[in-house]
Amino acid sequence: TPLDALRSQSTGAALDVALWQEVAYVGHWQGRVQSRRKDGRTYPERLSLSAIRASDGTPHRYVAVFDDISESEAYQRQLEHLALHDPLTGLLNRAAFEQEAARLLIDMRRHGRGAVMLFLDLDGFKAVNDS
C-alpha cells in the first residue's frame, strides 16, 4: 500500500506500531526517522504525519511532510565536537579531559582496577596554541 512507503526503514517495528497508533488515535505524529537514498545510503529525516478523517471519524487520507535533517545533524555533531576538543590539536579540552578523568576514576574504583595517567605540561605552549 502507499502507506508502506512511509514506514521507517531502520527505526524498527516498535516505532512503526507506535507511530501508526498515535496517528490513528491522536491524528498526528512527528519525529525522526531513517530513510534510504536511491544509492542505498541511509539518512535522517524529520517526519510529520497527519490523518485526514472521513465524516465517520476514521482516517481517510494521510498527509506526510519529510525534511532531510542530515546537514543540521552533521552541524550539531561538529558543534558538540568543538565544544569538547581543542581546535588546533583535536585533543580533549581541559573541561572534557577533567570530566573524562573523573569518569575513569569512578569506573576504576567501582571495578577495583588500576590506571595510569600521563600528564604533560608544556611550558609556553599557550602562546603556540593561541597563535
Residues of the chain scoring pLDDT < 70 = 1-12, 14-15, 129
Res 71: pLDDT: 97
Which cell numbers hold the place of 42? 541511509
Q: Is the pTM of this model over 0.75?
A: no
The string of pLDDT tens digits covering residues 61-71 is 999 999 999 99
Res 29: pLDDT: 92
Superfamily of domain 2-69: PAS domain (3.30.450.20)
CA atoms within 13 A on the CB side of 74: 6
Residue 37 near residue 45 (C-beta atoms within 8 A): no
Nearest in space to 64 (alpha carbons), one of 10, 25, 11, 20: 20
Domain extents for the chain?
2-69, 85-130
Res 1: pLDDT: 35
The string of pLDDT tens digits covering residues 20-32 is 888 889 999 999 9
CA distance 78 to 86: 12
Computed from CA positions of residues 34, 35, 37, 38, in that sequence, does the dihedral angle turn out positive or negative? positive
